Chain A
Amino acid sequence: MRDRIDRIAEPWGDRTPYGPGQPWPVRQDTHLTGTGVDRWVPAASLLHSNGDAMDVAVRDGRIVGVRGRADDRVNRGRLGPKDLFGWQANHAADRLTTPLVRRGGRLEESDWDTAMGLVVDRTEQLLDAHGPGSIGFYTSGQLFLEEYYTLAVIARAGIGTNHLDGNTRLCTATAAEALKETFGCDGQPASYTDVDHCDTLALYGHNMAETQPVLWMRVLDRLAGPEPPRLLCVDPRPTPVAARAEVHLAPRTGTNVALLNALLHELVRTDRIDHAYVDAHTVGYEELAAGVATCTPEWAARICDVPAREIRRAAELLGGARKLLSTVLQGVYQSHQATAAAVQVNNIQLVRGMLGRPGCGVLQMNGQPTAENTRECGADGDLPGFRNWENAAHVAELAELWNVEPERIPHHGPPTPAMQIFRYAEQGSVKLLWISGTNPAVSLPELARIREILRAEGLFTVVQDLYPTETALLADVVLPAATWGEKTGTFTNADRTVHLCEQAVQPPGQARSDLAILLDYALRMDFRDRDGAPLIGWHDAPGAFAAWQRCSAGRPCDYTGLSYALLRERGGVQWPCDAEHPDGTERLYTDGISWAAPDTCETYGRDLVTGAAVSETEYRALNPDGRAVLKAAEHLPLHEDVSPEYPLQLTTGRTLYHFHTRTKTGRTPQLAAAAPEMWVEIGAGEAHRRGLGEGDLVEVATARGAVRARLRVTALRDGLLFLPFHYGYWDTPGRTGPGPDGGRAANETTPTDWDPVSKQPLYKTAAARLTRLAPADGTPAPAPTTGAAAPADPAAAPPTTGGPDAFADQRPARQEAASVPASPPAPPAPEATP
């Protein structure tokens, strides 16, 4: 292993191979600037969902670097490029340091009293005149648990509004909904350690290499070791995952249900079914088998444009697996029939009996670092603690906990999802929208519409953020927030691992933590419980954590066995962690399905096509014993298919070097330079037919809008274009929207359409037209060459490198370096008691 390498050029670093059942060897990654460190402060990564543990280096009251924590179960010392370099964004020159208020159409510097006074006055006026339904909260996937829980209590019991959701609606809503539909309740079944044990790994719409680079390092290390797992990749793009897959299926976008139904058809036809498991732990097998009876590989091949023999090979791979791990991400969650497709992955796992054992499980992934916490704290479209809004006993528990009348907690209908909150704002019935830590002016679909909503006179917008984002610039009040490294709190990754992230330095200027802002609001609003005591009885992060622990008690996401001290001592611990499981819980469902019984489940379920609610009575009849529910779904034609006017499919997605709308990664020199500007991807065959080449300046237009960028020619499938969704306008003359050079944000083109079950917007299925504006002038597209955007012709663009500033250290653990890979198989790592 080399001591120092360019981690922009080599994002995954050097290999530490290992075999099945062995512990993943340590490799400690470090990036430090200058000399000397005063202290190291524990934290975890905030620029993806993997939850990699790290220590933040502080010198003279300033962050000067990071290193991975070698003893942590999630990353065993490794860090991805975004974590190695992204901390520098804390120091960006344009951090918001003082509250801003809009006066005479302009945002002007103000102070906390004035800004909060305006927010409180407007809240009170609206409550008097229009009631709690006029107030909405749109939060993030990047705040901390303590902040989400406080926000949830403020919104649900303080204001009493149903309109609270996170931008997790865009990234993880389908993961949550698919788990709820199958298992009756949210909660990630599997563990990252299942990568250590599996013999087959199926990745559905999950470019793990770029979205979770450290987990991909784990896979690469298995692939480099003895008895490597076999990979199935379903992705229309030529991702690094596809390059390592034994079978790569690149379907037309929006056809996941057809493909998955064909895979299930083959498993049923060849009887690769674990009938004993199905009989013991599931309901609905007969309906599922009947539902896929006609879904032959040939039938799916016509819909998906994938050869039938490749579908058969994929089914063989799944059917022959002894330890099958499946993972799912945005290629499913943000595509047509999102929940229906994600549920079919659960179904494959269940009919194969591959659940709750080492190497056997499903990871319905998250997109954002703290997405899991919005879900469990009820800061998205659910009640706190995975409680069921239709279950009066669950609502009564919350009322008791908060000491309010149950009627004060809105539960007459489902909590309102983000896209519907924006619809209500568009109609004028939501009149105050408080946006914390997210940037809808770039991240929501059909941006022209979103900008119009945010600009409307009738909507008062409060934006709480670190930078003057596109959304902040459209706000009425802007509140400067502290971020990672500047505040203390916990958050939970995609495999239920909770980390403590401590304050290392002071926030800049007058910036305050999101928790401090929310507590200040609660105080000024004077929210009271039914005995007249303050509704929010805590004043800091430990207090909020303790309150949340009480709320989580006895629920699947039980935190009662955790404490800041324990997390400091041990690093990441997986929930549930309670008296019975003091070391946390590695896998759920090791002994059957535990949270699907009618009285405990989080939902009675929905129709996978219409989103219609299944009634309590129906659920009790269907699933009286609380087993996993095998739900079939029929393939539906795309809502927007290609046409003579818009002959190409258009999908959007991510690059390894950026996160979300680049608010931090665009302010990090190494990351910004690695992917500096918008680009468009097309496949070599499609480009050739259209007489287009690398570097051509093109316009991609849909019925909603258009973007302009240079063309990158890759090995993408025919008939498809790809746009990275990260780029917006804050670093362009337009500031909040397209300037004279036309659109730059991919979401100018995306449709307003969402999955009726999970309510997650669909970013993967539009129809577009491609026009060349100018031929290439010798400049290649500004796209990285390291991931799925790699040019089909390697000579077409210079390789992406980071130069001297992008070098970081990597060191193997001394004792393990000598023993791997030659050592005999060791017993599984003592992770946690199942």
Chain B
Amino acid sequence: MNPVEAVLRTLHEGELALHDDLLAAAEEHAAEHEFHHVATDTARWSAEHARLIAATAADRGLHLPAAPDSPALTRLRRKAARDLAPRPDGLPDLLETLAALHLAAVRNSLHWEMLAQAAQAGRDGELLALASRCHPQTLRQMRWTNTLTKTLAPQLLTAS
């Protein structure tokens, strides 16, 4: 596998994982209504990204499985993502979840950046179109998790 294919594979896994994580978090925080609904809406973007990545990869003879993970592995990865976030004791669960989702989106965003740069350097129009199509939505996922954190943190951290 060449390095660009490795980025495609990593990104494919990352988008599938973010999709699963967003849906799981939406479920877990169903009583946080705005979070619940927008997480569900934006999970759809990640699913679409994964599908488009897999299609592009298939054109290059690289087979990326549609749903590579067992639920157990998903949980494991979610835990790993959470461990990346600084997590002082007593941090409200919703804020912790938002931090984990934000970091997962940032990770995807960096891989989209790598892919777009590789595409430009290699004059690969197809890859560039893929990154141009998907990366903006990843950035929107990042802005959303950031906005919700900024909005909810004051109340959850000081008035509870």
**Which residues of chain A have a CB within 8 Å of any CB of chain B?**
130-131, 133-134, 162, 412-414, 416, 419-420, 423-424, 426-430, 607, 609-613, 636-637, 639, 752-754, 756, 759
**Which residues of chain B have a CB within 8 Å of any CB of chain A?**
31-34, 37-38, 40-42, 44, 140-141, 143-144, 146-147, 150-151, 153-156, 158-160
In the docked arrangement, what's the CA distance between A130 and B160, Å?
8
Q: Taking A610-B41, A639-B40 as contacts, is the C-beta distance between A420 and B143 under 8 angstroms?
A: no
- The interface residues of chain B lying within 8 Å CB-to-CB of A414 are 151
Selected from B37, B144, B153, B155, the residue in CB contact (under 8 A) with A612 is B144
Selected from A131, A613, A752, the residue in CB contact (under 8 A) with B143 is A613
Looking at chain B's contact residues, is the secondary structure mostly helix, strand, loop, or mixed? helix
In the docked arrangement, what's the CA distance between A740 and B152, Å?
40
Q: Is the CB of B158 within 8 A of A609?
A: no
Q: Is the CB of A134 within 8 A of B159?
A: yes
Q: Is the CB of B146 within 8 A of A130?
A: no
Q: Is the CB of B155 within 8 A of A609?
A: no
Count A-B pairs with CB separation below 8 Å. 74
Q: How far is the CB of B144 from chain A (nearest CB, A)?
A: 4
Q: Is the CB of A428 within 8 A of B160?
A: yes
Q: Taking A609-B41, A609-B140, A612-B140 as contacts, is the C-beta distance between A413 and B158 under 8 angstroms?
A: no
Q: Is the CB of B144 within 8 A of A611?
A: yes
- The interface residues of chain B lying within 8 Å CB-to-CB of A130 are 159
Q: Is the CB of B155 within 8 A of A752?
A: no
Q: Is the CB of A756 within 8 A of B37?
A: yes
Q: Is the CB of B155 within 8 A of A133?
A: yes
- The interface residues of chain A lying within 8 Å CB-to-CB of B34 are 419-420, 611, 754, 756, 759
Q: Which of B38, B153, B156 lies at the interface centre, i.e. has the most chain A CB atoms within 10 A of its CB?
A: B38
In the docked arrangement, what's the CA distance between A49 and B44, Å?
39
In the docked arrangement, what's the CA distance between A636 and B37, Å?
11
Selected from B33, B42, B140, the residue in CB contact (under 8 A) with A423 is B33
Q: How far is the CB of B109 from chain A (nearest CB, A)?
A: 14
In the docked arrangement, what's the CA distance between A416 and B153, Å?
12
- The interface residues of chain B lying within 8 Å CB-to-CB of A612 are 140, 143-144, 146-147
16 further interface pairs, Cβ-Cβ under 8 Å (given A131-B158, A753-B37) = A130-B159, A133-B159, A413-B154, A414-B151, A416-B155, A423-B31, A426-B31, A609-B41, A610-B38, A610-B140, A611-B147, A612-B140, A612-B144, A613-B147, A613-B150, A637-B44
In the docked arrangement, what's the CA distance between A613 and B144, Å?
7
- The interface residues of chain A lying within 8 Å CB-to-CB of B144 are 607, 610-612
Residue of B nearest to A426 (CB): B31
Q: Which of B33, B143, B158 lies at the interface centre, i.e. has the most chain A CB atoms within 10 A of its CB?
A: B33
Q: How far is the CB of B42 from chain A (nearest CB, A)?
A: 6
Q: Taking A131-B159, A133-B158, A610-B143 as contacts, is the C-beta distance between A413 and B38 under 8 angstroms?
A: no
- The interface residues of chain B lying within 8 Å CB-to-CB of A420 are 34
Q: How far is the CB of B25 from chain A (nearest CB, A)?
A: 14
In the docked arrangement, what's the CA distance between A133 and B159, Å?
6
Q: Is the CB of A133 within 8 A of B41?
A: no
Q: Taking A419-B33, A753-B37, A754-B34 as contacts, is the C-beta distance between A610 and B42 under 8 angstroms?
A: yes
Residue of A nearest to B160 (CB): A429
In the docked arrangement, what's the CA distance between A791 and B41, Å?
39
Q: How far is the CB of A609 from chain B (nearest CB, A)?
A: 6
Q: Taking A610-B38, A754-B33, A756-B37 as contacts, is the C-beta distance between A133 and B140 under 8 angstroms?
A: no
In the docked arrangement, what's the CA distance between A483 and B124, Å?
70
Q: Is the CB of B38 within 8 A of A756?
A: yes
Selected from A427, A607, A611, the residue in CB contact (under 8 A) with B160 is A427
- The interface residues of chain B lying within 8 Å CB-to-CB of A613 are 143, 147, 150
- The interface residues of chain A lying within 8 Å CB-to-CB of B154 are 133, 162, 412-413
**Can you spell out 9 A-B residue pairs with CB atoms less than 8 angstroms apart?**
A133-B155, A133-B159, A423-B31, A427-B160, A609-B41, A610-B41, A610-B140, A610-B143, A612-B143
Selected from B32, B44, B151, B159, the residue in CB contact (under 8 A) with A429 is B159
Q: Is the CB of B143 within 8 A of A424?
A: no
Residue of A nearest to B40 (CB): A639
- The interface residues of chain B lying within 8 Å CB-to-CB of A754 are 33-34
Q: Which of B32, B140, B143, B153 lies at the interface centre, i.e. has the most chain A CB atoms within 10 A of its CB?
A: B143
In the docked arrangement, what's the CA distance between A786 and B155, Å?
48
- The interface residues of chain A lying within 8 Å CB-to-CB of B153 are 413
- The interface residues of chain A lying within 8 Å CB-to-CB of B160 are 427-429
- The interface residues of chain A lying within 8 Å CB-to-CB of B143 are 607, 610, 612-613
- The interface residues of chain A lying within 8 Å CB-to-CB of B156 are 429
Residue of B nearest to A431 (CB): B159
In the docked arrangement, what's the CA distance between A131 and B159, Å?
7
Q: Is the CB of B41 within 8 A of A636?
A: yes
Q: Is the CB of A611 within 8 A of B38?
A: yes
In the docked arrangement, what's the CA distance between A354 and B147, Å?
34
Q: How far is the CB of A790 from chain B (nearest CB, A)?
A: 35
Residue of B nearest to A135 (CB): B159
In the docked arrangement, what's the CA distance between A423 and B156, Å?
11
Residue of B nearest to A449 (CB): B31
Residue of A nearest to B39 (CB): A610
- The interface residues of chain B lying within 8 Å CB-to-CB of A416 are 155
- The interface residues of chain B lying within 8 Å CB-to-CB of A419 are 33-34
Residue of B nearest to A163 (CB): B155
Q: Is the CB of B140 within 8 A of A607?
A: yes
Residue of B nearest to A427 (CB): B160
In the docked arrangement, what's the CA distance between A752 and B143, Å?
24
Q: How far is the CB of A97 from chain B (nearest CB, A)?
A: 36
In the docked arrangement, what's the CA distance between A428 and B44, Å?
33
- The interface residues of chain A lying within 8 Å CB-to-CB of B42 are 609-610
By Cβ-Cβ distance, the 5 closest A-B pairs, closest first, are A133-B159, A612-B143, A610-B144, A612-B144, A429-B159
Q: Is the CB of A424 within 8 A of B41?
A: no
- The interface residues of chain A lying within 8 Å CB-to-CB of B159 are 130-131, 133-134, 424, 429-430
Residue of B nearest to A761 (CB): B33
Q: Is the CB of B33 within 8 A of A752?
A: yes
In the docked arrangement, what's the CA distance between A414 and B152, Å?
10
